[in-house]
Amino acid sequence: MLAVSVAATLVIGMVGVALVDRGVHAGGTSRWAREHLAMRLLAESAVEELGATLAQRMNAPADPLYTAVRGLRANAQPVPLPGLALAEVLTDVARQQLLLGGTIRVLNAGAAVRRVEAGDADPDERHALVAFEAAFELTCGRHERVVERVRVERALRVAAVTPPRALGRMGLVVLEPSASDLPGAAGHIAYAPAAGAPHALLDLMTHAGKDGFYKVSPAQLPAVQRALDAYAPAALAARAHYDLLQPADLRRLLSLGTPVSGVVHLAFRDPVSLTLPHFRGRCVLAFSGPVEVHDVAMDDPTRDALTIVSAEHITVAGRRVQASLVCPSTTPGALAFTERASVEGTVVTGRFPRYATMAAADFSASTFQCSPTVRPAAWAALSPYPVAVQHLRDSEEWSAW
């Protein structure tokens, strides 16, 4: 009986020791997991902050990142982006140090650009990948050290949001004028500079020299053709910063009350009616279907710019349109006016403009003027979602991407 009692006591003791040991081990594992998770979250937050900072600063002309992003060239090695630093995350670092009872150091926080490619239609445009990296170290006591590293890659696209230089000083461009519309330019791309004051359409058609139409010269043709290629449907889809799939997406975008900038590709073919009394931003709205343009005004003509493109049909139904209009379709009447209008911006049309539901005299009195204040500009944007993500600890190495 005594032997049984001793054996039972020994078994119970061993089980107790095992349970205590397991509890201690579980506590250590729990602390280890908590510390690694805290460092990983800090690293991920740091990467997000770096991306948000770059997105904000790379479109501010006075910022060094503005010039750095637009000056990117094809590179064999990653090119660091200057001046990116953490601010918000450092507040979280101080809080986590108190919670974890240790010292946290930022080992690395920055961004570098790689895989730079020039745009097909515009050599000044850029496509690239930006790698954001962050590493944090937690030290508790004399020997405990926890390190978490994060690398996130996002696509970067720099695309023109104003008419290219080859078109920027042209008020009205007709790609295929007929002999009845412009007898001296049939078979050639024709343009009217329409610089300075607004020019009535009738004056452009009847006056020679600076107030009339010119034929694009052989020397001008390559640059003009490259500029026109940038407005082809496939090129716009490839250049786009954002894709909208239904009309409701466009309504939401324009109703946000914030500046709208970048190349926006509208993949749907539904007809759209557009009225923008106080537009802010620098933007290309590339429609796949027909669009009816009513009154459009820039909030600040020296800062804001809008180009409206339709592969199918543009109807000008507003009195004043402060925007460039591009409709390269050669279908007769693809660009039509239903109101006597004043257009302030470059107008590109496959065929000579037509009119409907208005008198010929009102159509002839419609005025054109290339925008006198807008300079050629490109907008830079990061992809909203990462294209690759890696998480590493101290002893691991980055994989080759």
CA 251 to chain centre: 18
Task: Please enumerate in sequence order all residues whose Cβ is within 8 A of that of 154, keeping only pairs 6 or more positions apart, or say none.
Answer: 51, 129, 130, 132, 382, 383, 385, 386, 387
Per-residue HEC secondary structure of the chain comes to CHHHHHHHHHHHHHHHHHHHHHHHHHHHHHHHHHHHHHHHHHHHHHHHHHHHHHHHHCCCCCCHHHHHHHCCCCCCCCEECCCCCCCHHHHHHHHHHHHHCCEEEEEEEEEEEEEEEECCCCCCCEEEEEEEEEEEEEEECCCEEEEEEEEEEEEEEEEECCCCHHHHCCCEEECCCCCCCCHHHCCCCEEECCCCCCEEHHHHHHCCHHHCCEECCCCCHHHHHHHHHCCCHHHHHHHCCEEECCHHHHHHHHCCCCCCCEEEEECCCCCEEEEEEEECCEEEEEECCCEEEEEEEECCCCCCEEEEEECCCEEECCCEECCEEEECCCCCCCEEECCCCEEECCEEECCCCEECCCCHHHHHHCEEECCCCCCCCEEEEECCCCCEEEEEECCCCCCCC
Instruction: List, in sequence order, every residue forming a beta bridge with 266; answer none if it has no partner.
Output: 244, 287
Question: Tokens 């061993």 belong to which residue?
Answer: 14
Q: Which amino acid is at 355?
A: Y
Per-residue pLDDT of the chain (401 residues; tens, 9 = 90+): 545 554 555 445 444 444 444 443 444 577 778 888 988 999 999 999 999 999 999 999 899 999 999 888 877 688 899 889 999 999 888 888 888 888 999 999 999 998 888 776 666 788 899 999 999 999 987 667 889 999 999 999 999 899 888 887 888 999 999 888 888 788 889 998 878 788 899 888 887 666 788 899 999 999 999 999 999 999 999 889 999 999 999 999 999 889 999 999 999 999 999 999 999 999 999 999 999 999 999 999 888 999 999 999 999 999 999 999 999 999 988 999 999 999 999 999 999 999 988 899 999 999 998 876 667 788 999 988 899 999 887 666 655 54
Question: Tokens 């159509």 belong to which residue?
Answer: 363
- In the chain, domain spans: 33-159+382-393, 165-376
The closest alpha carbon to 128, from 154, 146, 105, 107, belongs to 154
The closest alpha carbon to 84, from 62, 56, 104, 105, belongs to 56
Sign of CA dihedral 358, 360, 361, 366: positive
| Angle between helical axes of 88-100 and 2-57 (0-180°, round to 10) | 170
